[in-house]
Amino acid sequence: MKNILIASTSTLANEDYLDYLLPELKLHFQNCTTILFIPYARPGGISHEEYTAKVGLAFTKINKKVIGIHEFEEEALAIKNAEGIFTGGGNTFVLVSQLHKNNIMGILSDVIKNGTPYLGTSAGSNICGLTMQTTNDMPIVYPSSFQTLGVIPFNLNPHYLDPDPNSNHMGETRETRIKEFHAYNSLPVLGLREGSWLDVKGDKITLKGNLTARLFKQNNSPEELETGSDLSFLK
């Protein structure tokens, strides 16, 4: 049975890394001693070692040990043997490129679908959808495929931002970008605001956090979904 937490962000304003999620993570990873961390998204271009150390510091607060996947000679075997898995944020293009390059996208998908507890934040959440095409990130590398894990039956837009009526910004809004996606694709897209996450248990997908999420469907007006909503109807 799938057991997944899909969070828009790792960090809220004026809080330490993962702090707002720690009560959830303590339950989510309660049967895990060690968490396998996938640092490929490399926020700000930091090294895998630096990123893993940052994550490890956060997980010490709930008495979990973190090991980076880059420390293993056989990454596929590390995924198959993992008690729990966390993929952090950064650049989705870099993350997806590396997962495909190392031939582990499919293996990661399989273990998640078979019940290994998984946490994704930001880019690590983006890859839970069917494709990465609704990411906010710059295409700084070119992945061999936009296909991602497909552990939920729709796409995500983490860090979703509402238009600011007081802003002088003249560029496209997130809503406009998602409409552009829907000119060519029929997949539903969920805009996850900061501090919101999806709790996936088997086939049930529940919106958690204090904020609504914005659902976009091709040829339909956007819809606000209240926290606690069951998103299992999205196919």
Residue 235 within any structural domain of the chain? no
Contacts of 21 (CB under 8 A, 6+ apart): 5, 7, 10, 119, 197
Is 234 a domain residue? no
Q: What is the CATH classification number for the domain harbouring 119?
A: 3.40.50.880
Check 28, 70, 159, 182 and give the catalytic one.
159
Radius of gyration of the chain (CA): 17
Q: Is residue 184 part of a domain?
A: yes
Q: How many structural domains comprise the chain?
A: 1
Domain limits at 45? 3-225
In angstroms, the CA 143 to CA 87 distance is 17
* 137 belongs to the catalytic site: yes
CA pair distance 149, 11, nearest whole angstrom? 23
Q: Which of 216, 18, 1, 220 is nearest to 124 (CA)?
A: 18
pLDDT tens, residue by residue, 206-218: 999 999 999 999 9
Query: SS3 breakdown of the chain: % helix, strand, coil, rounded to 5?
Result: 30, 20, 50
Say if 231 falls within a structural domain. no
pLDDT tens-digit map of 69-99: 999 999 999 999 999 999 999 999 999 999 9
The answer to whether residue 50 sits within a structural domain is yes
Residue 133 lies in a domain: yes
Catalytic residue among 10, 137, 182, 196: 137
Mean pLDDT calculated for residue range 56-66: 98
Say what the pLDDT of residue 162 is.
87
pLDDT digits (tens, 9 = 90+) for 123-182: 999 999 999 999 999 999 999 999 999 999 999 999 999 877 777 766 689 999 999 999
Task: Look up 186 and say whether it is catalytic.
Answer: no
Selected catalytic residue, list 122, 125, 182, 196: 122
Task: For residue 148, tell me if it sits in a domain.
Answer: yes
pLDDT, position 163:
78
Active-site annotation holds for 16? no
- 211 and 193 Cβ atoms separated by less than 8 Å: yes
Q: Does residue 232 form part of some domain?
A: no
